[in-house]
Amino acid sequence: MSKVRGASARLSSKRTRSGAKRKAKSAPRQGSAKTLNWVAAQLRAARHRASYALRLGAIAVLALFGVVISLYAFTGGFEDARSSLARSADRQLTQAGFTVDWIDVSGAHRVTASQVAMLIGVEPGTSLASLDLEAARAALEADPWIASARLHRMWPNRLAVVIEERVPVALWQVDGVHRVIDPTGTVITSADPAAFADLPRVVGQGANVAAFEMVNLVLRNEDLARRVSHLIFVGERRWSLRLVSGGEVLLPQSDPEGALSLLGRMHADRGVLDYDAQIVDLRNDGEMVLRPWPDRAAEAAGRGA
pLDDT bucket at 189, cuts 50 / 70 / 90: very high
Q: Under CATH, what is the fold of the domain 98-165?
A: Ubiquitin-like (UB roll) (3.10.20)
Residue 120 has pLDDT above 50, yes or no: yes
Q: What mean pLDDT do residues 177-186 have? A: 98
Residue 280 has pLDDT above 90, yes or no: yes
Q: What mean pLDDT do residues 27-31 have? A: 51
Residues of the chain with pLDDT > 90, as a percent, come to 61
Q: What is the pLDDT of residue 301?
A: 54
Distances (CA, A) of 225 to 194, 214, 216, 228, 231: 20, 11, 10, 5, 10
Q: What mean pLDDT do residues 34-47 have? A: 61
Average pLDDT, the chain: 81
Cβ atoms of residues 163 and 140 within 8 Å: yes
Asked which of 124-128, 173-177, 195-199, 215-219 is least confident by mean pLDDT, the reply is 124-128
Q: What is the pLDDT of residue 79?
A: 59
Q: What is the per-residue pLDDT across 202-219, written as a single tens digit (0 to 9) for each?
A: 999 999 999 999 999 999
Asked which of 51-65, 141-155, 176-190, 271-285 is least confident by mean pLDDT, the reply is 51-65
Sheet holding 102-106, edge to edge: 102-106, 158-165, 146-154
Q: What is the pLDDT of residue 261?
A: 96
β-sheet bridge partners, residue 153:
159
* Residue 67 neighbours by CB distance under 10 Å: 10
Rg value, the chain, Cα: 49
Indicate the CATH number for domain 170-302. Answer: 3.40.50.11690
pLDDT bucket at 95, cuts 50 / 70 / 90: low
Residue 51 has pLDDT above 80, yes or no: no
Q: What is the pLDDT of residue 98?
A: 84
Residue 245 has pLDDT above 50, yes or no: yes
221: left (phi over 0), alpha (psi -120 to 50) or beta: beta
pLDDT bucket at 124, cuts 50 / 70 / 90: confident
Cβ atoms of residues 279 and 290 within 8 Å: yes
Q: What is the per-residue pLDDT across 127-154, written as a single tens digit (0 to 9) for each?
A: 998 899 999 999 999 999 999 999 999 9
Residue 300 has pLDDT above 60, yes or no: no
